[in-house]
Amino acid sequence: MADLVVARPEGLFCPPGGFYIDPWRPVERAVITHAHGDHARAGHGHYLASRASTPVMHARLPGASLATLEYGETLRHGDVTLSLHPAGHVLGSAQLRIEHRGAVWVASGDYFVAGERDDPREANRTCTPFEPVACHCFITESTFGLPIYRWAPQDDVFADINAWWRDNADEGRASVVYAYALGKAQRILAALDPATGPIVVHGAVDTVTRAYRAAGVALPATTLVTEVADPALLRRCMVIAPPSAQRSPWLRRFGELRDAFASGWMQVRGARRRRAVDRGFVLSDHADWPGLLRAIAATGASRVIVTHGFEGAMVRWLGEHGYEAGAFATEYGDLDDDAPPAS
């Protein structure tokens, strides 16, 4: 039986379907798993994505020719039947299921799933949680595919962020958390305690946050810095800004501040120092090592193709545990929220 997905210079390609999955070069037909910049690139002829991703896809790719599918809805395309299923990574993120003459392949895109603790409280609360999809071959991301990556319960991380904010506010300093504008920013927003002070969002975060609210995701009230009339309030505010805002003049209006970075990479020794921030919060929208292994096992797949991270270690582990394992070299990751910190 021929492979349902192959690697081409333009991206991952489905020969019997005639489309690409998150291609990195311009193509005629692209299925997009989610709206992060390294997966949803401009310049394709036609896009297909989940209906839940519509507002964030439009924000990223205005004017694109976009068709959408509800999660679980099937579409006949070329010689395959395809459908999209929740990936739990960001609003609208999807796994792609491809069925062709009885063979089923699933391409995960990026996903987030509870790790060691198989606990619904560990799901991403700002989008539809990951759902395992049975398949013969699972193409999995592996951004944090090393056994050292194990996330703490997310409520512990959120409690740390809120406590840090309260301490800074009591000292009369603004708190700035750098977080990717799509996904990570909203996950933090959803967990903040608004009693501590005003929550200020950078314009890039505001655009995406509006799309989340339009999709019905409950988030606390936020404000733009230009809307804060009382300067004293700026001394106890929480600021959510994209990493690109670090060291920008935009931050000057907050005066003396404390800053932090929120990323899975903060688990690596030295990452906080390299980012030159006061605090690192280990918070990722990607599965940790136990989460990856649980997600892979839940598909029932006997064959696994690894992308997007530490392919070598994951392929070796899978091979030693009875899977037929391989890797695709991809060009994802450099624009993602959890791209490794620049050294």
Contact 181, 215 (CB under 8 A): no
CB of 29 to Zn ion, least distance (A): 20
Closer residue to Zn ion (CB): 36 or 173: 36
Nearer to Zn ion among residue 127 and residue 239 (C-beta): 127
Q: Which is nearer to Zn ion, 36 or 44 (CB)?
A: 36
List contacts with Zn ion (CB under 5 A). 36, 110, 332, 336
User: What is the smallest separation between the CB atom of 279 and Zn ion, expressed in angstroms?
Assistant: 23
| Count of C-beta atoms within a 10 Å radius of residue 125 | 15
Q: Which is nearer to Zn ion, 323 or 332 (CB)?
A: 332
Q: Which is nearer to Zn ion, 212 or 332 (CB)?
A: 332
Strand partners, 19: 14
Tell me the two tokens of residue 53: 């991703």
Cβ 21 vs Cβ 29: under 8 Å: no
CB of 336 to Zn ion, least distance (A): 4
Minimum CB–partner distance for residue 173 and Zn ion (Å): 32
Q: Which is nearer to Zn ion, 258 or 308 (CB)?
A: 308
Does residue 189 sit in helix, strand or coil? Answer: helix
DSSP state of 76: E
Q: Could you tell me the two tokens for 234?
A: 């700026």
267 vs 183: CA distance, rounded Å: 19
Please name the residue that has the structure tokens 């967990």. 191
Distances (CA, A) of 100 to 10, 76, 133, 135: 22, 10, 15, 12
Distance between CA 308 and CA 310 in Å, rounded? Answer: 7
Q: How far is CA 281 from CA 73, 263, 271, in A?
A: 37, 6, 11
Least Cβ distance, residue 89 to Zn ion (angstroms) = 6
**Shortest Å distance, C-beta 163 to Zn ion:** 28
